[in-house]
Amino acid sequence: MDAHNMNILLAGFGGQGVLFAGKLIASSALIDGLEVTWMPSYGPEMRGGTCNCSVCLSEKPIGSPLVTEPDVLVALNKPSYLKFVDAIKPGGICLIDQSLIDVCPERSDIQFVAIPATKISEDNDLQTLANVILVGQLLKLTGFSTVEVLEQAIEHSVSAKHTDLIAPNKMALKIGYNAVNQADCK
Amino acid sequence: MAKVLMKGNEALAEGAIRAGCRHFFGYPITPQSELAAYMAKRMPKIGGTYLQAESEVSAINMVYGASAAGVRVMTSSSSPGVSLKGEGISYLIGADLPCLIVNVERSGPGLGGIQPSQGDYWMSTRATGHGDGHVLVLAPNSVQEMADFAAKAFELGDRFRMPAMILADGLLGQMMEPVELPEELDLADLPEKPWALTGTKLEREHHIANSLAMEPQDLEDMVLSRRERYRLIKATEQKCEQIMVDDAEVVVVAFGAASRIALSAVNAAREQGIKAGLIRPITLWPYPVDAVKAAAQHAKAFLSVEFSTGQMVEDVRLAVNGKCPVNFFGHTGGIVPDPSEALEAIKLSLERADSGEDFEILPFESKLGLDGSFGKPQAYAERTA
């Protein structure tokens, strides 16, 4: 995986922090001096339906900002997993929240990584930060940036009204980074 | 200055403020609303005016009033809302008043949908309102250009005393990219407007901002003098970006968000040894006729890629003037074409260059087997839903 030339698709329900997770990745790329685009799905699907966002990282100017064949899929719910798993490029990565998705992929040409992000967030009193836990794991899997840069990205991305959330976000990032793949697919 | 990550809608709003705009009149509509929301937040803090009118019609007439008073003023909306502004835009043209109108296009006709489209090309370049007039039309293709083009639009509008439009779409409005915000202009440095209605103080004749001229000869004189300005604009203000056009056999023409898709396709074509190039119109009115004409001297075929059923392709054909086929590929309804589809259209353009016939590829035709061979409309719909 060329982590500096990578197309990422993050998908889940509205409210799971899919767009924020994408924004963290995009912000880190900005700090790292890469070209980057962040494109959300927008419209009625925001209200409880599925929600996704495309993040393109590149060392060259980016053409289309829409990711239709992701190098990496981060799926936060089962409908999103089912919708996009077949679109992943051969050799790509599929990262899922195992707490919410109980599947094994039929494809053998992708790297499948499952961590129980929601359960981890609850066990660590980091409710609603499963999204950031998954970003931490993606960071370890691909090395698209560094923990230090992601911590800066968190400081930039958390709104000024909620600075108390910076520390929990950083903790979620590290816990996610150190989480172990629990995919059990024969 | 360090780059920041911003949505296109917000970058355009900030760019307008930095270009000296202190008056915004609008009415909310997706996918443009972040622009108005940004103005609502910022304008009161910098001594500006943000006013949410009771309708788009009111908003554009408020723009008329503010422009007549000589200030930099803007409104923004999305396609159906811009239709409503049409009457007011025509009055602004008729009264020779500059302003900025932003259209973050969604798909139509009618209420249509809220996903990206370029279906307002004709409306923008041909008839934004009734009568015999034009507005300047700029087409950004990145968040950086969303931020930069507000200043360009105000400058051109003030210089030629006419409305300027930024024609964007939902993709450019909603997308975030790194942007280096433009320098803030000092309000004292903005161009003087000796024609503005600022009060006579009993020291001069009163000024009039009006589009009514009941005497045919007076009106013809006004329209013809405006036409003279249009001629000058067409001669001096055409702008486009050209990428790998010099040796291109297939010249793709695309503007705005479609040019991003087209660029990916052109790069992919080059990797496969196909000599493709891209002309990206930056001004849609005036259209960059000269660049297209020049490329037609060596190209074997042209391909217009648009988020519509084919509108700008007519301007390409006018400029190419029969020298070679001018083909079309597009999606509509808010579906954003995939670069791989555009690549197939590039290949087909080359294969059929000698036929002398134009072709058009739309997904429905592909499904029926009328043209192309790669259409999977349902799959595209699911993918982008």
Average pLDDT over residues B234-263: 98
How confident is the model over B33-52, as pLDDT tens digits? Answer: 999 999 999 999 999 999 99
pLDDT at B121 over 70: yes
**Alpha-carbon torsion A69, A74, A76, A81, what sign?**
positive
Give the pLDDT of residue A46.
53
Are A63 and B339 an interchain contact pair (Cβ–Cβ within 8 Å)? yes
How confident is the model over A95-113, as pLDDT tens digits? Answer: 999 999 999 989 999 999 9
On whether the CB atoms of residues B211 and B95 are closer than 8 A, the answer is: yes
How confident is the model over A98-152, as pLDDT tens digits? Answer: 999 999 989 999 999 999 999 999 999 999 999 999 999 999 999 999 999 999 9
Q: CA B180, B157, B46: angle at the middle one, nearest 5?
A: 55
pLDDT at B371 over 70: no
Give the pLDDT of residue B382.
53
pLDDT at B369 over 50: no
Tokens of B117: 């489209």
User: Strands A6-13 and A72-75: what pairing?
Assistant: parallel
pTM of the model: 0.94
Instruction: Assign B332 to helix, strand or coil.
Output: coil
> What mean pLDDT, rounded, does chain A reach?
94
**Taking the domains of chain A in order of start, what are their residue ranges?**
6-178
Give the pLDDT of residue B367.
47
Closest alpha carbon to B280 in B252, B247, B250: B252
Average pLDDT over residues B109-124: 95
Which residues, 6+ apart, have CB-to-CB distance to B329 below 8 Å? Answer: B303, B304, B305, B337, B341, B342, B345, B360, B361, B362
Are A66 and B384 an interchain contact pair (Cβ–Cβ within 8 Å)? yes
* Sheet (strand B250-253) strand order: B240-243, B276-281, B250-253, B301-306, B326-330, B360-361
pLDDT at A14 over 90: no
| Minimum Cα–Cα distance from A86: chain B residue | B383
Q: What is the CATH number of domain A6-178?
A: 3.40.920.10
**Among residues of chain B, what percentage have pLDDT more than 70?**
94
On whether the CB atoms of residues B76 and B104 are closer than 8 A, the answer is: yes
Which residues, 6+ apart, have CB-to-CB distance to B209 below 8 Å? Answer: B64, B67, B68, B95, B97, B197
Q: Letter for the amino acid at A24?
A: L
Q: Is B108 on the interface with A (CB under 8 A)?
A: no
Average pLDDT over residues A65-93: 95
pLDDT at B355 over 80: yes
Determine the Cα–Cα distance for residues B313 and A185; give it in Å rounded to an integer: 52
How confident is the model over B281-329, as pLDDT tens digits? Answer: 999 999 999 999 999 999 999 999 999 999 999 999 999 999 999 999 9
Determine the Cα–Cα distance for residues B52 and B126; give it in Å rounded to an integer: 28
Give the pLDDT of residue B370.
42
Q: Is B260 on the interface with A (CB under 8 A)?
A: yes
Domains, chain B, ordered by start? 4-198+225-235 (3.40.50.970), 240-384 (3.40.50.920)
Q: Is A155 on the interface with B (CB under 8 A)?
A: no
Residues of chain A neighbouring B176 (CB-CB closer than 8 A) = 23, 26, 37-39
